[in-house]
Homo-oligomer: A and B are copies of this chain.
Amino acid sequence: MIIIMKPSATREHVEALSQYIERWNVKANPIYGAGTIVIGLVGDTGAVDKDALLRDPQVENILKVQEPFKLANRSFHPENSQIELAPGVVVGGKKLVVMAGPCSVESEEQIIDVARHVQEDGATVLRGGAWKPRSSPYSFQGLKAEGLELLHKAHKLTGMPIVTEITNPAHIELFHDKCDCFQVGARNMQNFELLKELGQAGKPVLLKRGFANTMEEFLMSAEYIMAGGNENVILCERGIRTYETYTRNTLDISAVPVLKRMSHLPVIVDPSHAGGIYWMVEPLAKAAVAAGADGLMIEVHNDPAHALSDGAQSLTYESFHETMTNLRAVAQAVGREL
């Protein structure tokens, strides 16, 4: 962190400020140049309160040099992290991981049928919502505990690891034995109470980017989980909110190369929520793979027109089959497997 002083700052003031700053356990080195005075801070500046310093009338500006995330930072961990969800199902390796399934678990028959179909086409993780956060209190809210049981049943029948969304720290124990990966939805990306408790849950976490959060905030939320001791975090870009109204969200495809450069954590993309409509899933999925994503999360439904939620964006079995076929060629073109 570097503090730029106003040209009019006195030497006394700079020295007093430098001393004051050391309360945050960093070393403050004032340097005086011709027409420029800066204070360089050495040490772990994560706790330094930039806001408070900006109140100092002789401070011009403050520049963060280090990124505020440590455990998620590629600088301190140059190798790609690989996260194993089940034997042989590893996110972050050469082989891309496709997580597929319905938006909501609706019945035993449905979830098992979908699981078998997506598995046949190469999906290796089953997704499905049991607790559904919905904008309206009057919309279908998911089968809850029963949905979790049905996912577990599908897991036992197919062997596919399960990823499902958790929305309340109080549910962690209940979810723990029924899923292989906790999903944190976009709306909960900064539900820090939930993140902190997942840091101690001992299972991988798939963290979705909030629809209005920066990539730095996204990595800070991963940092919350990691700081609790759980380093198995998978990042998922799922579209951000912009002024464009034609698409449900705007897929931020640049998040793939940027997050992979900033962090060692694996990055997957959810093209279903990004576009919000079935016919965009394939082109966006191809773009994600071409840009370097480590996997995809795709909504597939046995009967999209009658789905209880997110019907518009779900693929049919036929279109999922076709999408997977076409993705394989793109994966190969960028040196990956599917």
Q: A243-B243, A253-B287, A329-B333 are in contact. Are A60 and B52 (CB under 8 A)?
A: no
Main secondary structure of the interface of A (DSSP, over half): mixed
Smallest beta-carbon distance A240→chain B, Å: 6
In the assembled complex, the Cα of A168 lies from the Cα of B139 at a distance in Å of: 23
Query: Is there a chain B Cβ closer than 8 Å to A12's Cβ?
Result: no
8 Å CB interface, A206-259 against B: 210-212, 214-217, 220, 223-224, 227, 240-247, 250-254, 256-258
Query: Is there a chain B Cβ closer than 8 Å to A174's Cβ?
Result: no
> Which residue from B40, B210, B311 sits with its C-beta under 8 Å from A35?
B40
Contact check, B46 vs A40: say whether CB atoms are below 8 A apart. no
8 Å CB interface, A11-61 against B: 27, 29-36, 38, 40, 42, 44, 46-47, 49, 51-56, 60-61
CB-nearest residue of chain B to A275: B254
- Return the CB mask of A274-299 against B: 1 if under 8 Å, else 0: 11011110011011111110000000
In the assembled complex, the Cα of A286 lies from the Cα of B332 at a distance in Å of: 13
Query: Is there a chain B Cβ closer than 8 Å to A135's Cβ?
Result: yes
Query: Is there a chain B Cβ closer than 8 Å to A81's Cβ?
Result: no
Smallest beta-carbon distance A337→chain B, Å: 13
Say how many copies of this protein the assembly contains: 4
Contact check, A49 vs B309: say whether CB atoms are below 8 A apart. yes
In the assembled complex, the Cα of A297 lies from the Cα of B166 at a distance in Å of: 32
Smallest beta-carbon distance A295→chain B, Å: 15
Q: A29-B34, A193-B168, A256-B283 are in contact. Are A243 and B241 (CB under 8 A)?
A: yes
The 4 closest A-B pairs by CB, nearest first: A212-B212, A36-B40, A52-B311, A290-B290
> Which residue from B47, B191, B214, B284 sits with its C-beta under 8 Å from A253?
B284
Contact check, A52 vs B304: say whether CB atoms are below 8 A apart. yes
- Return the CB mask of A132-163 against B: 1 if under 8 Å, else 0: 01111111100000000000000000000000
Q: Which residues of B contact A217 (CB under 8 A)?
A: 135
> Which residue from B36, B44, B286 sits with its C-beta under 8 Å from A29?
B36
